[in-house]
Structure 1
Amino acid sequence: MIVTEAHVRRAAERNGLHCAEVEVMTSDTENQDLLAYFGPSKDNDFDMVAVVNNDARSDVDWYDNSMHQAYADVTDTLFDTPTMKTDWGERESFKEQVLSYPRVRADIRRLMDWS
């Protein structure tokens, strides 16, 4: 999967953790629009906390529509191997593609006020 576009949207809470929400567009037709959540890491960079499928459309979902899963968590299924184990190489590659996209790493650092 190749990241074709990425930009930081906002600060968000994810499972009680203060994160930065990054909108990600990919070359994968099944997972074209994603939201990746990044939190602080012990190595002074960022950990990818979760990836969700961004299936919400503002022309339809301008209110809280609970009739479908607009934001389904795909973290596990996106990076699982056929033997149901995480492909850490693929996961890290995706994470680095997102963080290396122009201005993303700097915008996360600024948004989260991490030095």
Structure 2
Amino acid sequence: MQVIEAHVRGAVQQGGIRCGEVEVTTDDAKAPVVLAYFSQSEDNDFDLQAIVRNEADTKTDWFDNNMHQAFEDITISAFRNINMKTDWGARESFKVQVLSSGRVREELARLLEQTE
């Protein structure tokens, strides 16, 4: 999954952790747009907490209702290799691509440092 474009949408709670929500456009036909959730890490970088795909049709679900089953967590399946194990290299590559897109890294830093 290669990143085409990414932008920060805001701060949210994801699994009890304060995260920055990043909308990511990818080249993957199965997940053309995903939401990636990043938290601050101990080494002054960011940890990729989750990746979620929206299965809702934007024509009928235009109000971005994330309270229903249209949102599918693909954190594990997105980077699973043929041995059904996580391909950590691909996951790290995706993380770096997202953080390097536009001003994502700077916006996440500003957004998440305000909450501490």
Normalization by structure 2: what TM-score?
0.89
Cα deviation, residue 58, structure 1 = 4.5
Residue matched to 2:112: 112
Q: Secondary structure at the match of 2:91?
A: helix
Aligned 8 A contact 1:18 1:39 in 2: yes
Residue matched to 1:16: 16
Cα deviation, residue 63, structure 1 = 7.5
Residue 74 (1) aligns with residue 74 (2): yes
Q: What is the total number of aligned residue pairs between the two structures?
A: 113
CA distance in 2, matches of 1:105, 1:55: 27
The 1:63–1:6 alpha-carbon spacing in structure 2 relative to 1, beyond 3 Å, is closer
Q: Any gaps of 5 or more consecutive residues in structure 1?
A: none
CA distance in 1, matches of 2:57, 2:107: 25
Normalization by structure 1: what TM-score?
0.90
AA aligned opposite 1:113: E
Q: Any gaps of 5 or more consecutive residues in structure 2?
A: none
The 1:57–1:8 alpha-carbon spacing in structure 2 relative to 1, beyond 3 Å, is farther
1:67-101 deviations in Å (ceiling 9; x for gaps): xx321000000011121111000000000000000
